[in-house]
Amino acid sequence: MKFIDEYRDARAARKLAAAIARVTTRPWNIMEVCGGQTHAIVKFGIDELLPPQITLVHGPGCPVCVTPVELIDKAVEIAPLPGVIFCSFGDMLRVPGTNGDLLSAKARGADVRVVYSPLDALAVARANPERQVVFFAVGFETTAPANALAVAQAQREGMRNFTLLVSHVLVPPAMEAILASPSNRVQGFLAAGHVCTVMGYEEYAPIAARYRVPIVVTGFEPLDILEGVYLCVRQLEEGRVEVENPYARSVRREGNREARRLIAEVFQVVPRRWRGIGEIPQSGLGLRPAYAEFDAERRFGLAGHGVEEPSECRSGLVLQGVLKPHECPAFGTRCTPEHPLGATMVSSEGACAAYYRYRGVPVRAASS
């Protein structure tokens, strides 16, 4: 299969791993930003192929995982309201809030539907003009164009029964927040290839220069990731700080101009709270005033509603690369996919879910 089998070739992977070992002379910590890359790393054992000096640190690149508790609570509050159809991607249904999750709301009778696109939710709204249809718009820059398109289309059609509960976040401000943290241990980044496919990679150059970290645009298959690690390590060893793009089969410097235009038309940059991390300035997208009528928080009077996050879950430290999932005391015991404490154990891109699925639960010594 083109662009799959050849990027999973075991012999080529071993050669790349050997090349990484040859250029590595000291310890380096490299963060992959994307949750899809994290799952590939753990599933294929990519980190186990690397020399012991190289540590791959898992970042906040799971959009489900960083959706704040307060927005989950708002979703759970909106879903059971009379006349509401709440549409969402499937992996959002089990993310815990302070008052349960969307799956529990559905079990209690709320009309919660799994869709695969905001345009599916728009079709539901057309088919049910007497009901309010809300789509849970989560994600990084990758999902923003489709959500912007749905809103623009709803406005063109004069629809008054369609809104978004928006939880869009942006990658570059999160990278800067990690690098500026006193607990930062990241020395280089593997940038998320799908985000760069939409947005390009020009905005990474100032980050690389300011914090003296190499950034390599990286795909999602094993050879993509190993090549990204190799280029990043080579820069670190040579003392270079650049933005490199070996993922040229998908990414252009300027990204997708039409998608970027559509995002800029419908959304504006706003501060955003990240689950487990807190507020990061100018790290989110919100609807522009011209599209405010499609804002579910405004329509249902929930703006400004905030909550405290549960303290037992350590997912914030996992998302910042400070803690590996299996190092959390609750991992695999009080926190499992069936009974998650946090979103990183729920999402198909969550680091905790990846470790639980592919690495199992570590055996811990009995306490004395």
What is the residue whose two structure tokens read 């009901």? Answer: 131
* Residue 81: predicted pLDDT: 97
Pairing mode, if any, of strands 112-114 and 84-88?
parallel
E strand or H helix at 350, and its extent? none
The angle subtended at Cα 154 by Cα 274 and Cα 199, nearest 5°, is: 45
Q: How far is CA 209 from CA 12, 227, 238, 281, 333, in A?
A: 32, 22, 15, 20, 42
* Residue 340: predicted pLDDT: 84
Q: Binning pLDDT at 50, 70 and 90, where does residue 135 land?
A: very high
| pLDDT greater at residue 343 or residue 302 | 302
Q: What is the pLDDT of residues 53-71, one digit of tens each?
A: 999 999 888 888 888 889 9
Where do the domains of the chain lie, and which CATH numbers do they carry? 1-357 (3.40.50.11740)
* Residue 367: predicted pLDDT: 42
Which has the closest alpha carbon to 34: 197, 153, 157? 197
Q: What is the pLDDT of residues 11-47, one digit of tens each?
A: 999 999 999 999 999 999 999 989 899 999 999 999 9
The C-alpha atoms of residue 58 and residue 31 are separated, in whole angstroms, by 6
Exposed/middle/buried for residue 32 (C-beta within 10 Å: 0-12, 13-18, 19+): buried
* Mean pLDDT of all residues in 117-127: 97
* Residue 353: predicted pLDDT: 87
* Mean pLDDT of all residues in 127-137: 98
* Residue 204: predicted pLDDT: 97
* Residue 306: predicted pLDDT: 59
Q: Is the pLDDT of residue 5 over 90?
A: no
Q: Is the pLDDT of residue 368 over 50?
A: no
Phi (first) and psi of residue 43, to 5 degrees: -60, -45
Average pLDDT, the chain: 92
Measure the N-to-C terminal CA separation of the chain; round to a whole number of Å. Answer: 54
Pairing mode, if any, of strands 278-287 and 267-274?
antiparallel
Q: In whole angstroms, what separates CA 197 from the centre of its chain?
A: 15
* Residue 308: predicted pLDDT: 62
Dihedral angle computed from the Cα positions of residues 197, 60, 24 and 205, in that order, rounded to the nearest 10 degrees:
50
Q: For the chain, what percent of residues have pLDDT higher than 70?
A: 95
Q: Are 25 and 237 in contact (CB under 8 A)?
A: yes
Q: What is the pLDDT of residues 243-284, one digit of tens each?
A: 999 999 999 999 999 999 999 999 999 999 988 788 999 999
* Residue 87: predicted pLDDT: 98
Q: Which region among 2-11, 45-54, 119-128 has the lowest average model confidence (pLDDT)?
A: 2-11
| pLDDT greater at residue 278 or residue 125 | 125
Reduced to 3 states, what is the DSSP secondary structure of residue 135?
strand
Q: What is the pLDDT of residues 80-98, one digit of tens each?
A: 999 999 999 998 998 888 8
Give strand pairing partners of 113.
87
Rg (CA), the chain: 21
